[in-house]
Structure 1
Amino acid sequence: MGMCLPCLSGAEDDVVTPDPETRRRQLADAAEKRQKEITYRGIKNPEALERKKKKQEETEKQTMNTVPSEGGGLKWQVG
């Protein structure tokens, strides 16, 4: 137990660790990739889905801008 093998004596020289900025960038990219995979799980064409969402948002914005804000629409009568 606890024997140190001579074949492992130079192993720490072979390990290459990237600088902190590169490592941070790699971790951020990996996290973004995982998030996309989770978000688009089961969706065959995520780009088409994004385009559809953007188009729907633009349509909603245009609708909100064109609706008169002077109380138009249905009127309620009680009686």
Structure 2
Amino acid sequence: MGLCSSCFKGSTEELLSPTAEIRRQQQLEAAERRRVQNETRGIKDPEKVRRMQQKAEEMERREQEAARMGGGQPVLKWQQD
């Protein structure tokens, strides 16, 4: 038995421990998958969330622009219930 396992020693080492470059690439891919999963966790409709974020960014941009044009006067905000 000892003689047979010595024949395959080189190939088993490659399968058990990938090179540092391959390991780094695998870790990077796994981290990216986890990031994507965490972003969508608990969200039924990711497109709706994106639209809401874009709408909020647009409103914020408009408020900043109005504040700049208004000369520093307080801006009234309209809130719907």
Q: TM-score, normalised by structure 2?
A: 0.56
Q: Where in structure 2 are the equivalents of 1:18-33 lying within 5 Å?
A: 18=19, 20=21, 22-33=22-33
Q: Secondary structure at the match of 1:71?
A: coil
Root mean square deviation of aligned Cα: 2.9
In structure 1, the gaps of 5 or more residues are 75-79
Could you say which residue in structure 1 is the equivalent of 2:63? 63
Structure having the higher Rg: 1
Q: Secondary structure at the match of 1:43?
A: coil
Cα deviation for residue 56 of structure 1 reads 1.4
Q: Which one scores higher on RCO, CA 8 angstroms, separation ≥ 6?
A: 2
Is residue 9 of structure 2 the alignment partner of residue 8 of structure 1? no
Identify, as 1 or 2, the structure richer in helix: 2
Query: What is the percentage of aligned positions where both structures have the same residue?
Result: 30
Could you say which residue in structure 1 is the equivalent of 2:79? none
Q: Deviations over 1:6-60 (max 9, x none)?
A: 443304414353561x432331121021022123212123243123212311221
| Aligned positions, number | 70
Q: TM-score, normalised by structure 1?
A: 0.57
